[in-house]
């Protein structure tokens, strides 16, 4: 998380979310995998949208509201 996290539009990783929520990194992963913490999956990585995490912390985000999976394109996708 950058020092100016409030103004940053970058995605957070599990460490950033854990720091913001004052929770353990493993808790963040468990909540995301259970569909309770909105996240984006980019390959094998989990990333989190800061405004969505903040809404989740305030109880405003619906569980599983944004779970996206992105994977690399394969030759089958291209043609």
Domain boundaries, the chain: 14-71
Q: For residue 65, is pLDDT > 90?
A: no
pLDDT for 3: 46
Q: For residue 5, is pLDDT > 50?
A: no
pTM comes to 0.68
Look up tokens 């995998």; give the residue: 33
Six-digit token pair at 62?
């619906």
Six-digit token pair at 28?
């963040």
Q: For residue 4, is pLDDT > 50?
A: no
Q: How many Å apart are CA 12 and CA 78, to the nearest integer?
A: 30
Q: For residue 70, is pLDDT > 50?
A: yes
Longest dimension (CA), the chain: 46
pLDDT for 62: 57
Q: How many Å apart are CA 64 and CA 78, to the nearest integer?
A: 30
pLDDT for 32: 93
């Amino acid at each position: 998380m950058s020092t100016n996290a409030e103004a940053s539009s970058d995605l957070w990783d599990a460490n950033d979310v854990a720091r913001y929520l004052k929770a353990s990194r493993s808790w963040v992963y468990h909540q995301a995998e259970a569909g309770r913490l909105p996240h984006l999956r980019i390959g094998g990585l989990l990333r989190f949208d800061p405004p969505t995490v903040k809404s989740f912390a305030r109880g405003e985000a619906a569980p599983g509201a944004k779970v996206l999976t992105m994977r690399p394109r394969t030759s089958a996708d291209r043609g």
